[in-house]
Amino acid sequence: MIDDDSVALVTGASSGIGAETAVQLAEAGADVALAARREGRLREVAEDVEATGSEALVVPADVSERDEVVRMVADTVDELGGLDILVNNAGVMLLEAVADADPADWRTMIEVNLTGLMNATKEALPHLRDGGHLINVSSVAGRVAGETSSAYSATKFGVNAFTEGLRKEEAENGLRTTLIEPGFVETELAEHIPDEEIREGSKEMLEQMDVLQPADIARAIVYATDQPEHVSVNELMVRPTEQA
């Protein structure tokens, strides 16, 4: 359960799902550390967190850099007095067909979506045992690969595999793990797609249906986290109703 003593760390908290999750966790009582690269945006989210009466800590970090991940976790524990909930949400979606893809984009996605999440999990693990909670934000693309999502899906399938293996390793230590698998959510994610045609096509698809808002996914994260200690919600897939 989340209470006034809970401490959460949310990566990718400068926009979209992460920003909204930070605020909803704060509304539920948690103090929240906010991590991402854009410090100015994190400071704005920190004001929203503090408006709920909870404490906010801004920890600028690039999750693809292992030493920054180590510092991000250490600063959270030092400044907020512990760590009960880690939300590994930072991610990039650089959709490209394999034939046209820039392998540097593959590397970025692997280092942010997968290695960054793995490093943050490892650093946080000693603090999360005995009742802590790990939330890993995957995707519908972590279950089904599609055209142009092969590499992005490879990272998200990787997130699912890593989370399930870890769940088995740490169940007896009292760690709860939740995979969150969103469908289409209106955020900045698609704005970074390098291929203009794919980027515009993605935008059009989002405009054609009543897509999810970041608050819809944040609610799922708070639901999974705010359970009694013997309840582990391991996986939640949340799509817009109209998404096939």
Active site residues: 152
Quick check: 12 binds ligand NDP (CB under 6 A)?
Answer: yes
Least separation in angstroms between residue 62's CB and ligand NDP is: 4
Cα torsion 69, 2, 218, 93 to 10°: value is: 20
Using CB under 6 A, pick the residue from 73, 83, 109, 137 that binds ligand NDP: 137
Contact present, 235 and 137 (Cβ < 8 Å):
no
Quick check: 16 binds ligand NDP (CB under 6 A)?
Answer: yes
Contact present, 212 and 182 (Cβ < 8 Å):
yes
Q: What are the DSSP calls for 21-70, one per residue?
A: HHHHHHHTT-EEEEESS-HHHHHHHHHHHHTTTS-EEE----TTSHHHHH
Using CB under 6 A, pick the residue from 22, 63, 83, 151 that binds ligand NDP: 63
Cβ neighbours of residue 105 closer than 8 Å, sequence gap 6 or more: 94, 96, 151, 194
Using CB under 6 A, pick the residue from 76, 89, 178, 202 that binds ligand NDP: 89
- In angstroms, the CA 91 to CA 117 distance is 9
Quick check: 14 binds ligand NDP (CB under 6 A)?
Answer: yes
- In angstroms, the CA 126 to CA 108 distance is 27
The enclosing H or E element of 169 equals: helix 150-170
Residues in region 155-174 near ligand NDP by CB under 6 A: none
Quick check: 18 binds ligand NDP (CB under 6 A)?
Answer: yes
Q: What is the DSSP letter of 4?
A: T
Overall residue count recorded for the chain in this entry? 244
- In angstroms, the CA 152 to CA 132 distance is 28
Least separation in angstroms between residue 177's CB and ligand NDP is: 16
Quick check: 151 binds ligand NDP (CB under 6 A)?
Answer: no
Question: Which span (51-59, 86-94, 97-105, 168-176) binds ligand NDP, by CB under 6 A?
Answer: 86-94
Question: Which span (23-31, 178-186, 195-203, 220-228) binds ligand NDP, by CB under 6 A?
Answer: 178-186
Question: Which span (50-58, 91-99, 170-178, 218-226) binds ligand NDP, by CB under 6 A?
Answer: 91-99
Least separation in angstroms between residue 229's CB and ligand NDP is: 27
- Number of shown-chain residues binding ligand NDP (CB under 6 A): 30
Quick check: 92 binds ligand NDP (CB under 6 A)?
Answer: yes
User: Would you tell me which residues interact with ligand NDP (CB under 6 A)?
Assistant: 11-18, 36-38, 41, 61-64, 89-93, 112, 137, 139, 182, 184-185, 187-189
